Amino acid sequence: MPTALAVSLTALLGLPAGAAARRAALAYTVPTGQPPCTSCPHCRAPITPLAVRTALGRCRSCDQRLGAHALLPELLTAVMWALVIAALGFSWTAVALLWLSACGVALALADWTDHLLPDRPVLDILLLRTAF
């Protein structure tokens, strides 16, 4: 049984993974054949993945909403990672489920905000490559 410290540290590591899930959901929710989106759909300002405003779900230039609500993917991924480690401890199965849960958050966000499951991340998950 993992300690509370291990579960807490894993949850903290889930926060940047959730930020990557937000970025993947924003980048790959485009029509088939289009390149990944790297700019705001409202003002065309570049989306920087480490910007605080992007993590809060807003464009840093025009303040329009980008994807999911503020901190939703980050907190969702952190909770999922903590639950996986609490249930399984540290194992190769847990590592695979951590990766799969981060990809699942990205796909759920894309489906929830745009009602579209992008081809690239789905194919990457099916082929066991990373979508981030």
- Let me know if residue 36 belongs to a domain: yes
**What letter does residue 115 receive in the DSSP assignment?**
S
Higher-scoring residue by pLDDT: 104, 82:
82
- Let me know if residue 131 belongs to a domain: no
Instruction: Determine the Cα–Cα distance for residues 132 and 24; give it in Å rounded to an integer.
Output: 6
**Number of domains forming the structure of the chain:** 1
42: helix, coil or strand? Answer: coil
Range of the domain at 118: 4-126
Lowest mean pLDDT among 10-14, 46-50, 113-117, 123-127: 123-127
**What letter does residue 45 receive in the DSSP assignment?**
P
Higher-scoring residue by pLDDT: 77, 67:
77
- Let me know if residue 112 belongs to a domain: yes
Higher-scoring residue by pLDDT: 1, 103:
103
Q: What token pair was written down for 68?
A: 């999911």
- Let me know if residue 132 belongs to a domain: no
Percent of the chain with pLDDT over 90: 12
* Cα-trace Rg, the chain: 15
pTM (two decimals): 0.74
- Let me know if residue 27 belongs to a domain: yes
Q: Residue 29: phi, psi to the nearest 5?
A: -90, 75
